[in-house]
Amino acid sequence: MFRALQGQSAGEYQRDMNRLSGGASNGLSLPDRVRKADACGRLCFQGNSFRIGKAFCRESIGIREKIEDGCYSLWWYGSRIARIDMKDHFIRIGKEENPG
């Protein structure tokens, strides 16, 4: 259970999930995974560290797998903030032209 909640209580985890999905009223789905950025704005995912920016220090970030293999989109408060390409170990900060 500790691994599934990432060290959070069940209430904290549920609040993070509701916040990341933007709440049930807007029709957004919950992210596939949630990671918390460290104090420097780095996000660790699948053994790699990605710098997403100091604005996201200690914030919970939602991660959704995309249709293409090895591509993930990062979400914060219902807004897409970046895309990770695990094949090239590359992160693209900002909204995408063709979200998916």
The string of pLDDT tens digits covering residues 30-84 is: 778 899 999 999 999 888 899 999 999 999 999 998 877 889 999 998 889 999 9
Q: Structure tokens of 8?
A: 């959070």
Decide if 54 contacts 41 (C-beta within 8 A): yes
List the chain domain ranges: 2-23+31-93
Contact 91, 82 (CB under 8 A): yes
State the pTM of this model.
0.66
- Is the pLDDT higher at 97 or at 38? 38
